[in-house]
Chains A and B, each alone.
Chain A
Amino acid sequence: MWGIIRQRAACKGNHALNLEQGIRAIALRAFSSSAKQMTVRDALNSALDEEMSADPKVFIMGEEVGEYQGAYKISKGLLDKYGPDRVVDTPITEAGFAGIGVGAAYYGLRPVIEFMTFNFSMQAIDHIINSAAKSNYMSAGQISVPIVFRGPNGAAAGVGAQHSQCYAAWYGAIPGLKVLAPYSSEDARGLLKAAIRDPDPVVFLENELLYGESFPISDEVLDSSFSLPIGKAKIEREGKDVTITAFSKMVGYALQAADILAKEGINAEVINLRTIRPLDRSTINSSVRKTNRLVTVEEGFPQHGVGAEICATVVEDSFEYLDAPVERIAGADVPMPYAANLERMAVPQVEDIVRAAKRACYRSR
């Protein structure tokens, strides 16, 4: 039993995972009710496995995806199963291998290119945007690019300024790209499968801190043909007083904030965006037309962020329905500091979301 716990603790990646958490994970697994649990990591791994098995054109390329079993163990076991022709370890040359991936997609293969974090995608951003996103348009449909760029995005824990940026807003601005940001294991499985099957270039923004988190998962989600539609947001929690939009890790924070708000009589509706591009404007607008108040939550920099776009779209389409100014919660407008207290202040916390929701309801102080 200790062996299993230690193994569980070890395979959760770079974080120092103490034994207590390992025990808790086992306990949850052993004593939870009939609903199965799955970590986001396992969800991504199983999605990759199933899509590679279904279509021989799908291959994975990136740093440490093969023999190392994946920097965050997302591609664990895939090298043994599919061989080095389909699980390709690359040198540390993002511009090179992203370009090679796009070229392979031009020819008709379906690459899944992993960036160890999306911070390193900036080395390859010319290929993502100029070679991948724009090609179908510039060639009037001759050259399509069925590629997926995936990897962890946004802040982790204590990794400093160069390893913590969120790229949702940058990639979300580009016509020709589809940008996905899963939260739960169901999201991770469904959206990754949809992304791999999609004939367009997809940027798939995961979150390192979510990899180890477990979510309940139904049998439908475990089916190999399961996928989620791109461009549809999910209403995680129905409400009537204020709409809170979030994506990725912030969905969990928004749900916690909604619980706290409920105790104070504010019934919040939480929308898990799931897709950043194309943004599900109709779900957001319908929700705001119902609640009349909006709080947008994101981890990334505030200026020109996802929240700014959501605010603009609501003002364009549902201005008369707003009873209060749109509240925007985003990461602090600073490079990510290292010190633990400063880092905590630079990233949205649950209390920030609660405070903003109360302001939107004119209930602050």
Chain B
Amino acid sequence: MAQLTRRTTALQKTLSAAILSTRHLSTSPITVETSVPFTAHNIDPPSRSVETTPQELLTFYRDMALMRRMEIAADSLYKSKLIRGFCHLYDGQEAVAVGMEAAITKKDCIITAYRDHCIFLGRGGTLLEAFAELMGRKDGCSKGKGGSMHFYKKEGGFYGGHGIVGAQIPLGCGLAFAQKYSKDENVTFAMYGDGAANQGQLFEALNMAALWDLPAILVCENNHYGMGTAEWRAAKSPAYYKRGDYVPGLKVDGMDAFAVKQACKFAKEHALKNGPIILEMDTYRYHGHSMSDPGSTYRTRDEISGVRQERDPIERIRKLILSHDLATEKELKDTEKEVRKEVDEAIAKAKESPLPDPSELFTNVYVKGYGVELNKSLLELDLTNLSRFSVEQSLVLFSNIKLTLLVIDCISQSFGADRKELRAVLP
């Protein structure tokens, strides 16, 4: 349903609602055909005809436009050095995130690798949390301590955000194990790329998922390149939906949000009754592997622009909306402007968010126990003697220490590394 649009403020009446109220079309069902029929392995594929509503179409459009805008904004932020380290962008693949969300609930779990910004948004994450986390600020979803690859939203059923290629697949099967153990009647979508599809631990986890009938759905987002290596150079068999052998699989056009929605709905029903299933989403990323990869040394610009012209997911939805007369060109353009404004506002707010407090260096290492205390001799500082202490002597700040305000400028960044300055506290 309308997860992202629901979050817009009351003041900001969405154009989709405005459009629909004038056209009184919001609930009448529409049937769309997926771009291509599904290819199936060891299972009967679902139908190509997908039921939808005008509301859903407009929501898909808006949500994907928001995701696209967010990723492009992240690109600029990275180039202006506000985002550091790794930044893996998802533009081009939005249909997978949006179509999946439309088929499931927040009680179902999603786990993915490092290309996680848009999935985070789909699971209920806000733009502010995303941008603040990318810039390492304390209003980020992981309070600035995770970074681009470690977004989480547990209450939305999003378990990250993982940097080690392939590790998320056994973790996802573990989530499914726990769902079955707790008799929850929900499923887990463990997402991975064509590069990760060759990982051994995938097959280890898949074997156990099949043995124990876990409600696990393995979703291969096949964007045809594992970093700089094309799929034909990395995999003897690029039919990733068949790799499960005894586990059924479905190949889906990942640029078609309705095909994704249909496949995920089908997979959820299957997994709850029969155990694991593999979905291969045929998709494409416009950016390189990450911001340090131009993305054009191993593929041609013609290929990239070709996909953009023929298969762009947002274009597809736009054409559907226009052909079903659900909105005018101008209204869709206005939606895009609105989305752009929303993103710009979130970035401005995120830029104002401060860096995490230095004391956060040592929090959350454990759930239970073991913080640090100040070096005792520094704790007993006499304020009048403050001038005696050089700036090399650094302090860990606690909220209940009044010295905080005075010495905040004297903090040298080396105190985490200087063992003489710290004492670990035992419970």
> Which chain A residues border B171 with CB–CB below 8 Å?
99-100, 102-103, 106, 127, 131
Which A residues, 196 to 250, have Cβ-Cβ distances below 8 Å to chain B? Answer: 198-200, 229-232
Q: List 28 A-B contacts (CB under 8 A).
A: A99-B170, A100-B171, A100-B173, A102-B171, A103-B111, A103-B159, A103-B170, A103-B173, A103-B175, A103-B178, A105-B174, A108-B178, A127-B167, A135-B160, A136-B366, A139-B154, A140-B144, A140-B363, A141-B363, A142-B154, A143-B152, A144-B367, A199-B367, A200-B367, A200-B368, A229-B427, A232-B426, A316-B419
Report whether B366 and A101 are in contact in the complex, using a CB–CB cutoff of 8 Å.
no
> Which chain A residues border B10 with CB–CB below 8 Å?
none
A141 with B367, Cβ < 8 A, contacts A100-B208, A103-B177, A281-B424 known? yes
* Chain B nearest Cβ from A319, distance in angstroms: 11
Which A residues, 115 to 142, have Cβ-Cβ distances below 8 Å to chain B? Answer: 126-127, 130-131, 135-142
With A138-B161, A230-B427 known, 17 other A-B pairs at CB within 8 A are A91-B208, A97-B170, A100-B174, A103-B111, A103-B171, A103-B176, A106-B175, A107-B178, A107-B182, A131-B171, A138-B146, A141-B363, A143-B154, A146-B367, A281-B424, A282-B426, A316-B419
> Which chain A residues border B178 with CB–CB below 8 Å?
103-104, 106-109
Residue A59 contacts which of B150, B162, B181 (CB distance < 8 angstroms)? B181
A99 with B167, Cβ < 8 A, contacts A137-B364, A229-B427, A280-B426 known? yes
CA A3 to CA B200, docked complex, whole Å: 47
> Which chain A residues border B150 with CB–CB below 8 Å?
138-139
Instruction: Kindly state whether residue A158 has any CB partner on chain B within 8 Å.
Output: no
CA A78 to CA B169, docked complex, whole Å: 29
Query: Which of the listed residues A103, A232, A281, A316 has the most CB atoms from chain B within 10 Å of its own CB?
Result: A103
Report whether A91 and B170 are in contact in the complex, using a CB–CB cutoff of 8 Å.
no
Report whether A93 and B364 are in contact in the complex, using a CB–CB cutoff of 8 Å.
no
Give the nearest-CB partner of B109 in chain A: A107
Size class of the contact patch on chain A: 35 or more
Give B residues with C-beta under 8 Å from A: 109, 111, 142-146, 150, 152-154, 159-164, 167, 169-179, 181-182, 200-201, 204-205, 207-208, 211-212, 363-370, 419-420, 424, 426-427
Query: Which of the listed residues B174, B200, B420 has the most CB atoms from chain A within 10 Å of its own CB?
Result: B174
Report whether A99 and B419 are in contact in the complex, using a CB–CB cutoff of 8 Å.
no
Residue A175 contacts which of B170, B174, B211, B365 (CB distance < 8 angstroms)? B365
Residue B152 contacts which of A108, A126, A139 (CB distance < 8 angstroms)? A139
Report whether B142 and A139 are in contact in the complex, using a CB–CB cutoff of 8 Å.
yes
CA A127 to CA B172, docked complex, whole Å: 12
Instruction: Kindly state whether residue A98 has any CB partner on chain B within 8 Å.
Output: yes
CA A91 to CA B209, docked complex, whole Å: 11
Report whether B367 and A99 are in contact in the complex, using a CB–CB cutoff of 8 Å.
no
Instruction: Kindly state whether residue A95 has any CB partner on chain B within 8 Å.
Output: yes
Instruction: Kindly state whether residue A160 has any CB partner on chain B within 8 Å.
Output: no
As a 0/1 sequence over residues 251 to 282 of chain A, the CB contacts with chain B under 8 angstroms (1 = contact) are 00000000000000000000000000010111
* Chain A nearest Cβ from B191, distance in angstroms: 14
CA A130 to CA B419, docked complex, whole Å: 24
A200 with B366, Cβ < 8 A, contacts A59-B181, A95-B204, A280-B426 known? yes
Give the nearest-CB partner of B188 in chain A: A103
A95 with B170, Cβ < 8 A, contacts A90-B208, A136-B365, A138-B150 known? yes
Give the nearest-CB partner of A94 in chain B: B204
Give A residues with C-beta under 8 Å from B: 59, 85, 88, 90-91, 93, 95-109, 126-127, 130-131, 135-144, 146, 175-176, 178, 198-200, 229-232, 278, 280-282, 316
Report whether B424 and A278 are in contact in the complex, using a CB–CB cutoff of 8 Å.
yes
Report whether B366 and A130 are in contact in the complex, using a CB–CB cutoff of 8 Å.
no
> Which chain B residues border A229 with CB–CB below 8 Å?
427
Residue A104 contacts which of B146, B177, B204 (CB distance < 8 angstroms)? B177
Report whether A99 and B174 are in contact in the complex, using a CB–CB cutoff of 8 Å.
yes
* Chain A nearest Cβ from B195, distance in angstroms: 16
Residue B366 contacts which of A142, A176, A281 (CB distance < 8 angstroms)? A176
Query: Which of the listed residues B153, B172, B201, B370 has the most CB atoms from chain A within 10 Å of its own CB?
Result: B201
> Which chain A residues border B365 with CB–CB below 8 Å?
136-137, 175-176
Report whether B174 and A106 are in contact in the complex, using a CB–CB cutoff of 8 Å.
yes
CA A102 to CA B208, docked complex, whole Å: 14
A99 with B169, Cβ < 8 A, contacts A106-B175, A143-B152 known? yes
Query: Which of the listed residues A106, A146, A281 has the most CB atoms from chain B within 10 Å of its own CB?
Result: A106
Report whether A100 and B160 are in contact in the complex, using a CB–CB cutoff of 8 Å.
no
CA A141 to CA B144, docked complex, whole Å: 12
Residue A130 contacts which of B159, B167, B177, B363 (CB distance < 8 angstroms)? B167
Report whether A96 and B142 are in contact in the complex, using a CB–CB cutoff of 8 Å.
no
> Which chain A residues border B181 with CB–CB below 8 Å?
59, 85, 104, 109
CA A198 to CA B146, docked complex, whole Å: 24
5 cross-chain pairs, A with B, having the tightest CB-CB distances, nearest first: A103-B174, A99-B170, A96-B204, A107-B178, A93-B204
> Which chain A residues border B426 with CB–CB below 8 Å?
231-232, 278, 280, 282
Give the nearest-CB partner of A101 in chain B: B174
> Which chain B residues border A106 with CB–CB below 8 Å?
159, 171, 174-175, 178
> Which chain B residues border A93 with CB–CB below 8 Å?
204, 207-208
> Which chain B residues border A100 with CB–CB below 8 Å?
170-171, 173-174, 177, 205, 208
> Which chain B residues border A103 with CB–CB below 8 Å?
111, 159, 170-178
Report whether B170 and A127 are in contact in the complex, using a CB–CB cutoff of 8 Å.
yes
* Chain A nearest Cβ from B205, distance in angstroms: 5
A96 with B163, Cβ < 8 A, contacts A140-B146, A142-B152, A198-B368 known? no
CA A106 to CA B364, docked complex, whole Å: 15
Give the nearest-CB partner of A86 in chain B: B181
CA A198 to CA B204, docked complex, whole Å: 28
* Chain B nearest Cβ from A28, distance in angstroms: 36
Report whether B164 and A130 are in contact in the complex, using a CB–CB cutoff of 8 Å.
yes
